Chains A and B, each alone.
Chain A
Amino acid sequence: MSYYQLLKKIRKIKAIVQRSKPDPVWLLSTRSTLLMQVKNTLPVEAPRKKEVAGELYKFVSPFFNFSKMIRKPVFAGLAVIVTLFGGSLFSVSAAEQSLPGDFLYSVKLATEQARLAMAKDSKDKVKLKTEFTERRVDEMKKVIAAPDANKKEKVIQTAEVLKRDMDTIKQQLGDMQGKAGAQDIKDTAKMIDQKTSAVVQALQDSKLEMSPEEKAKITEAQEAASSASVKAIEILADTHKTDGDVVSQQDVADVLKTHGEMVSKTMSQSFGSMPAIDAASSTTLGSASGTAMTTTTSSNLQKVTEAQKSLSEVDQLADENKMDEAIAKLKVGTQQAFDAQKTLEQQAPTTGTAVINEPALPSASSTEPVQNTTTTPDASTSTLESSEVDTGQGG
């Protein structure tokens, strides 16, 4: 007999059994006999109060036995809550400490997205996103400080995330324009200006002892930060035009100045940390690669000079209340500065191979041409050697 045959038979038996009815006569006679027996033996005296209370309790106890009734669903509910929220809280708090490349890092980014989605308005969103960019900078510092075989990948990943965040800020600033009030725009633009300057500066500091690839990525992030800052300045300048009472000329001039100083300082540091190429000594050696390098370096230094010139004009234009022109100059100067920086970083050998000279840049306020610094013959040779290697790689 198969399993299904067996079950079929059981169902058949059940159906037959269900149809079985006791004999009605027997039913009645048994009923009357039993009732007679019950009546005859039923106690006559009234039940004692204690007995009544006991029976009453038994009857109503299921309704009042809260511990029994509630225990299971409450514990089940608590278990679910603890699992969902406790677990996620634990995960999130653990994720907060995670660094790029860690298993929980994506959780951290997702949590940030969730916080961003819950922000009440565009001002809060920008503020929150700016906070997150500071986190990225902290992560970058930690990644650099920690000994790790995959440090390079992690640095690149962090720089990419930071660049993306900065692009998002720029986009959010665009969304904010026309929606937020003049005061909010003023506060946000100033905050962005300060924070992005800090981010660019911090990234500049972290660039020391980095490979060209890492430096390139970090510079891209810096450029994105700078671009977000310029966007904030543009919005502030537009608001100044429409609502001059709230956003004064001085407000716009201040942020322009902060940004210009930030770019100048970054350039100074960047060029100060690079090998100064002695054009004269390279030319004397007469190699083709040396000549090419010298040409590249000269054009790059030209870019730096032009950038400094553009930046120095920004203050003057701002003082004259020519904000559009000042911003245009700022954009040009910033672009030139970062282009020069990128070119230098591509040319630069890894650390420790070149002689580091004093910065050959003029100050932001000066428009004097760059003065070459003298180097020792040994230093010139080592610089040339490294230049040849780099040019070879570039070819």
Chain B
Amino acid sequence: MTQLIDRYLLYRLKIKRDPDAFAKIYDRHIESIYRFVIIKLPRKEDAQDITAETFTRLWQHLQNQKEITNLRAFLYQIARNLVADFYRNRDVISEAQTEDVTFGLDLTSNVTQTDMGRGKDQIEARTELALVLKQVDKLKDDFRDVLALRLIDGLKFSDIATILNKDVGHVRVIYHRALKAIKDLN
């Protein structure tokens, strides 16, 4: 049903030239994309920038008449790539060591400096996530991605499959292997 509404809004936007359709797409997905990025970025402003940039990229994509089959997954895909770009660029600037571009985020870095402008809850969540990722970091990249998208972002397997450009069945297998791997870590 969600996909059907998205499909209708895209149709309105492209054929009826209805800007309100884009506004509705924004309203439907802005919060989830924001939540997806806020946990991965050191500052709230970075999260806001990347969220806004995600929708700008969407519009550029639509202008180029490119096909979108799953809008929700597409938005997550853009956001994920932007987060990865963010860390890559920052590393280049700071000449820091190369980090994992997936979910091996720089969460264990100086929290007090980077968490300026964030709420207490978000800082706590970020700290917790750092601990979890430290544990999960021992797993393969695929395992971490699928676990984070499934358990933290609560995405469907079909959406995760689109984001990671994998088959749904494969994603399910990865997820269950990741859970088993966590058990084996202990």
Contacts and interface: CB of A to CB of B under 8 A. Distances in A.
Interface of A: 1-3, 6-7, 9-14, 16-23, 26-27, 30-31, 33-35, 37-39, 41-44, 46-47, 51-52, 55-56, 58-59, 62
A20 B34 CA distance: 9
A30 B52 contact: yes
Contact of A17 (B14, B67, B125, B185): B125
Q: Which 8 A-B pairs have the closest CB atoms?
A: A16-B125, A22-B34, A3-B183, A59-B11, A10-B151, A38-B22, A39-B19, A30-B52
Given A20-B121, A41-B63, A2 B186 contact: yes
Interface in B113-172: 119, 121-122, 124-125, 128-129, 131-132, 135-136, 147, 151-154
B182 A52 contact: no
Contacts of B122: 16, 20
Nearest to B120: A16
A52 B154 contact: no
Contacts of B4: 62
A187 B135 CA distance: 86
A30 B35 contact: no
A42 B22 CA distance: 11
Interface in B16-66: 17, 19, 22-23, 26-27, 30-31, 34-35, 38-39, 44, 48, 51-52, 55-56, 59, 63
B19 A42 contact: yes
Given A1-B135, A39-B19, A17 B35 contact: yes
B152 A13 contact: yes
B7 A22 contact: no
Interface residues of B, number: 47
B15 interface: yes
Contact of B182 (A3, A12, A23, A33): A3
Interface of B: 4, 7-8, 11, 14-15, 17, 19, 22-23, 26-27, 30-31, 34-35, 38-39, 44, 48, 51-52, 55-56, 59, 63, 67, 119, 121-122, 124-125, 128-129, 131-132, 135-136, 147, 151-154, 182-183, 185-186
B152 to A, nearest CB: 5
A59 B132 contact: no
Contact of B11 (A1, A9, A27, A55): A55
Contacts of B17: 42-44, 46-47
B121 A38 contact: no
Nearest to B31: A22
8 contacts: A1-B132, A10-B147, A13-B128, A20-B121, A30-B30, A30-B48, A38-B59, A51-B14
B52 A34 contact: yes
Contact of B35 (A7, A20, A43, A46): A20
Given A13-B39, A13-B125, A55 B15 contact: yes
A19 B11 CA distance: 32
A41 B121 contact: no
Contacts of B185: 3
